[in-house]
Amino acid sequence: MDKSFTLSRNENGIAVLTMDVPGETMNTLRAEFGPEISEVLTEIRSDHQIKGLVIISGKKDSFVAGADISMLDACTSADDAKQLSQQGHEVFLALEALTIPVVAAINGPCLGGGLELALACHMRVCTDSAKTMMGLPEVQLGLLPGGGGTQRLPRLVGITTALDMMLTGKQLRPKQALKMGLVNDVVPESILLRTAIEMALSGKKMPKKAKASMVNRVLEGTSAGRNIIFDQALKQVNKKTHGNYPAPEKIIDCVRQGMTKGLIKGLEVEATHFADLVMSPESEALRSIFFATTEMKKESGAGDVQAKPVKKAMILGGGLMGGGIASVTTTKAKIPARVKDINETGLSNALSYAYKLLDKGVKRRHMTSAARDNLMALMTTTTEYKGIKDADIVVEAVFEDLGLKHQMVKDVERECGEHTIFASNTSSLPISQIAEAAQRPENVIGLHYFSPVEKMPLVEVIAHEKTSAETIATTVAFARKQGKTPIVVQDGAGFYVNRILALYMNEAANLLLQGESVEHLDKALVKFGFPVGPMTLLDEVGIDVGAKISPILEKELGARFQAPTAFDKLLGDDRKGRKNGKGFYQYGTKSKKKLVDESVYAVLGITPTATSDAAEVVQRCVVQMLNEAVRCLEEGIIASARDGDIGAIFGIGFPPFLGGPFRYIDTMGPAKLVEILNQYAQDHGERFKPCAMLVEMAETGSRFHS
Ligand SMILES: C[C@@H](O)CC(=O)SCCNC(=O)CCNC(=O)[C@H](O)C(C)(C)COP(=O)(O)OP(=O)(O)OC[C@H]1O[C@@H](n2cnc3c(N)ncnc32)[C@H](O)[C@@H]1OP(=O)(O)O
């Protein structure tokens, strides 16, 4: 097997160990490297000419991306996983025990096991490259740092800072890492190796420790104080995860035990907890998301057809969505965007949307004001069709009115180039209907963003029957440059995400009208794992938006989409949700707690007396979403269960630890779901009737994922 590690020596006695895993774009740590690394360490220990060691990556712009997640996925028992962790501990302890100074020279991603390797070195220097990021993101995979990170990081940067990094999985930029004492120095890439060699020659020295606050120094310096930190961290974790994610609690336990009983005991606890997490269903689900999104990055969305370059975009509409789309186009994709609106108000909204986000980065010292201004210069505005002849793509984000969108199509075909793509951000109108106004329907496509645009990772790319493959590929590539995860879905009212969301929301509305309280509904679904409850979501999206979409879905997709008519009373009472400060919740109050606007019950003519248990409330709403997701797969609206899982997780926050609707059905078993749906169909109506694909899978015992 080709070597992954090469040891070279230079004239002043410094050895340089270069890691370069053959055939891989990223270095990752694998069990089979153990013997090779041990052999290198033995050679170093026996060669007394060597005065210091530098560890560096042979990859362009990446240090080490962590342990090979596929290797973890291949573990068949907790013992397998525990041995991997223990092997890592042995190697890193041996590295740390070298009597000569060992320096990690970091350029590019240094994550997970990669950072744990660097932590086992005596010093660390990284480049100031925008690609250099350091972090322990294992928690996002349902894991914990299993290579000693739970022990070394707190001892280097302090307990509070270490817990924050490990419990959030946040990735630090070079300056942040220097400030907290994670690295000794930050230098330009051109002098990284030279600096590391000089550091090795200068002898071991600890990095500058971040100035801990007096409170933290007192708390972390005493056992009682440390227990306060751990107990507080545990309380915050449980408040956030509702017990759905086991990793955070185990991370806290590793640090607590290690700081109390010493590093070796801490490593033992770490290996045990790491092993349990590798085998947990939650981590399996979260790892599947990583594999899915990595696989999706390589897909054009249109087979072998290549995307055309997008050098300039135009955004029609400077409102909430248009402003967000313009912002991610300029600040993420770094593509010039010309925003057109009918008045200056819309234009200033788009500009301020981008400026506020960029200025946050300046205030947090993530970017300079010059960088902010350079990015802002990419956004220009107009109230007329001027300066857009060379636009490669136009994204319309105007009011949900078919006639208006038809006018936009005609304007763009008149004012822009023959190649210009017309992408509609419509959330419900079939793209084929929008394309009816087009002379070049092959250039018309749907590009559906989710609000807030800068935060929600998903976009739906919706092809109608005449959309060209080149238009699809170009739109997918454009969305990726904006930092989005695109799924290509087929045309149809509500596409995929809004379609499965609508039935879930309607069922919550039915439960409300049957006497369940707003807070009971929302708390139940949040405890299940959604980021917010259905009534909160309706307030955020807009009760008027929901009311506009529902009849479209009912007309196009059938009676099961009929929304409860009682909800019309809400609009009659001018309740649109957060947007006009009147909805299911109170707005503008001094109370920190989110309070239900109790007057909403009188408007709906109900009294919240029902007390169904939370599990029943959850099941009633979630099975509607599951059934419709399968129907979308059955009808070809989504191309695969993988896309359906990612679309639901990234589009509406379907609980990631369940892996998405399709993985959740696999776990539950299609037969069980069909049984529940049939019972509900008897008790509550035909809208619960299981779709044919589900019934067939229940009979054959097949699953969506292998
Ligand atoms: C010992 C314990 O502490 C356990 C661990 O270390 S668990 C692993 C912790 N590390 C991570 O979670 C990092 C996962 N990777 C990423 O976040 C990203 O890949 C990146 C930020 C490192 C780079 O992103 P990007 O530039 O977009 O590149 P890709 O995501 O497309 O990745 C390029 C190829 O590298 C493969 N890859 C990256 N990380 C891993 C990994 N940890 N294990 C296995 N493979 C990894 C990825 O699959 C791509 O492979 P391809 O063949 O080129 O498609």
Domains of the chain, with CATH numbers? 5-279 (3.90.226.10), 313-493 (3.40.50.720), 498-636+669-700 (1.10.1040.50)
Q: Can you tell me the distance from the alpha carbon of 114 to that of 135, in angstroms, rounded to the nearest whole number?
A: 9
pLDDT(617) > 70:
yes
Rounded Cα distance between 51 and 679, Å, is 74
Taken in order 410, 412, 414, 420, the sign of the CA dihedral is: negative
Atom of ligand 1 nearest to the CA of 144: 3
H or E segment and range at residue 567:
none
How many helices (H) does the chain have, and how many strands (E)?
30, 17
Any alpha helices (H) in 181-242, and if so which ranges? 192-202, 214-221, 223-241
Give residue 621's pLDDT.
98
Sign of CA dihedral 374, 375, 381, 386: positive
| Strand-pair partners of 463 | 490
pLDDT at site 188:
97
Q: What is the ipTM of this complex?
A: 0.95
Short-list 615, 632, 602, CA closest to 528: 615
**Residue 210 binned pLDDT confidence (cut-offs 50, 70, 90):** low
Mean per-residue pLDDT of the chain: 94
Q: Residue 80 gets which letter from DSSP?
A: H
Closest atom, ligand 1, to C-alpha of 291: 48
pLDDT at 319: 87
Mean pLDDT value across residues 374-402: 93
The model's confidence at residue 565, banded by pLDDT at 50, 70 and 90, is confident
Residue 106 has pLDDT above 70, yes or no: yes
* Mean pLDDT score, 348-369: 90
142 lines ligand 1 (CB under 6 A): no
Rounded to whole angstroms, the Cα distance separating 536 from 319 reads 22
pLDDT tens figures, 155-206: 999 999 999 999 999 999 999 999 999 999 999 999 999 999 999 999 867 7
> Considering only CA atoms, which residue is closest to atom 8 of ligand 1?
66
Write down the pLDDT at residue 590.
83
Q: Which residues pair with 111 in a beta bridge?
A: 135
Asked if residue 141 has its Cβ within 6 Å of ligand 1, the reply is yes
Tokens encoding 673:
């779901």
Q: How far apart are CA 649 and CA 338, in angstroms?
A: 31
pLDDT of residue 626: 98
Q: Are 65 and 109 in contact (CB under 8 A)?
A: yes
Residue 209 has pLDDT above 80, yes or no: no
pLDDT tens profile 223-239: 899 999 999 999 999 99
Polymer length of the chain: 706
* CA-nearest residue, atom 4 of ligand 1: 67
67 lines ligand 1 (CB under 6 A): yes
Q: What is the pLDDT of residues 413-469, one digit of tens each?
A: 999 999 999 999 998 889 999 999 999 999 999 999 998 899 999 999 999 999 999
Ligand 1 pocket, residue 130 CB under 6 Å: no
